[in-house]
Amino acid sequence: MTERSGFDPDRRTVLGTTAGVLAVGAAGCTALEDDTHPQLEELDVGALQETVAEQSEAGDGAVTLGVGFADDNLPITSELYEPNPAAEISDTEQYDTQELSEIDLLEEPTEELPTIDTDEIELYALELSPGETRTMGLTVRSDEDVGFDAHLPEGEPYDPDDGLVLNCYCIDEVWNVPADGTWTRVIEIGLEDGIEDPESAAMVYGVFEE
């Protein structure tokens, strides 16, 4: 696991309202009929959850949620960074640069969220208690012009219908990252309130080329 010196518990927020709408479950997310994904098919999300639990450094009352992106089938890199404090959830921009210092939706200086190495897929580590969410800047970079979208994530032991709060990447929309450029969207991920005996978890978005 990467050094957690940059982790700031104050970035966690108590689950409440976002833009006037209670953010519970998959807010705005769309379940598509055909969500078969070759990389996800090969992943054992249960085993990923066990790895997250083994490497968790969460404090009392909190757990670690590992967040990953199955995007090996695309010429892109998906990363999570601390967002610009002035940015709002769902803010989305394209940039004709891959220099993170020029991405105004990200905090300056840019700081990548800590990760967990599972040998199969990189997971970003979020420390959360039930009823808390984290806001982050999802950043996709590519050397090519690529259209892509994301489907509801697979999770263990929580999923979009039971335990996860998503606000949101996986909506019924095709995104685009320009050649030699960057696409960034401010998203929110968390755990529903009222989870009994919370445990560390893993979730992986399936990313598809369009």
Instruction: Report pLDDT digits (tens) over 93-127.
Output: 999 999 999 999 999 999 999 999 898 999 999 99
Question: Which one, of 187, 198, 117, lies nearest residue 158 by Cα?
Answer: 198
| pLDDT reported for residue 173 | 85
| Domain boundaries defined on the chain | 44-209
Q: List phi, psi (to 5°) of 155.
A: -135, 160
What confidence tier does 35 reach under pLDDT thresholds 50, 70, 90? low
| pLDDT reported for residue 203 | 97
> Tens digits of per-residue pLDDT, 113-171?
999 989 899 999 999 999 999 999 999 999 999 999 998 899 999 999 999 999 988 77
Determine how many CB atoms are found less than 10 A away from the CB of residue 177. Answer: 27
Contact 140, 118 (CB under 8 A): no
Select the CATH number that applies to the domain covering 44-209 from these four: 2.60.120, 2.60.370, 2.20.25, 1.10.260. Answer: 2.60.370
